[in-house]
A and B are shown apart, each in its own frame.
Chain A
């Protein structure tokens, strides 16, 4: 099955730095979602985007739904230790019978002491 292209694959940053990651697709999605996954756990929803061009914030996180509906980005400002984990984008078409999430390949965030 299709997987979305996510970059960068991994990031090593210092505490307090800002983080930016993005996700691209060859096909259009009607919804973009960003999840975070900690080791041994399931993905937890961070932000959901429903309209092309939409910019949404959740605390230190900001995400945008690309105008072409084929991409999205996630920014994290002033990173803290608990931001460590793997971040996944996911796209959804949301037509009847096509509600599945298509996930990106993930961005692994590591904070260097």
Chain B
């Protein structure tokens, strides 16, 4: 059973470009969570989605950031018009239900030049 798959592992963007980060949850998992980690810090919650629905987006910046988890396909975290401060590692986690353990992917490291 494959784990949580994130791609790309590394992403380089210039200021003003768009970044698209993809997350395929573990098989049978319909709950996806996105977290951001700045260097030397812990992970910080961004958004929680359950197939086609956003359940909690309390950690998501109000502008430029959006997330979706369509009926078919991976979850996407989209960052428009990236700025240097968006440089971080972005982790996705999945669980089979809201009450279960969250399992993490290896992350996407975004660098904004």
Residue positions of A touching B, CB distance < 8 A: 1, 3-4, 6, 33, 35, 40-45, 48, 88, 94, 96-106
Contacts and interface: CB of A to CB of B under 8 A. Distances in A.
Interface string B7-45: 000000000000000000000000101010000111111
**4 tightest A-B CB contacts, nearest first:** A103-B42, A42-B104, A100-B45, A99-B98
Interface of B: 4, 6, 31, 33, 35, 40-45, 48, 55-56, 58-59, 91, 93, 98-99, 101-107, 109
B104 A105 contact: no
Which interface residue of A1, A42, A43, A101 has the most chain B CB atoms within 10 A?
Answer: A42
A70 B35 CA distance: 22
25 contacts: A1-B45, A3-B41, A6-B42, A33-B101, A41-B106, A41-B107, A42-B4, A42-B104, A42-B107, A43-B43, A43-B91, A48-B101, A88-B42, A98-B56, A99-B31, A99-B48, A100-B48, A100-B56, A101-B33, A101-B43, A101-B102, A103-B42, A105-B41, A106-B40, A106-B42
B59 A1 contact: yes
Contacts of B103: 45
Contacts of B44: 1, 3, 103
B86 to A, nearest CB: 17
Contacts of A94: 98-99
A97 B56 contact: yes
A4 B42 CA distance: 9
Contacts of B4: 42
A104 B33 contact: no
Given A99-B31, A101-B93, A105-B42, 5 more contacts: A3-B44, A35-B104, A40-B107, A100-B33, A105-B41
A46 B45 CA distance: 20
A41 B6 CA distance: 11
A88 B35 CA distance: 14
A31 to B, nearest CB: 9
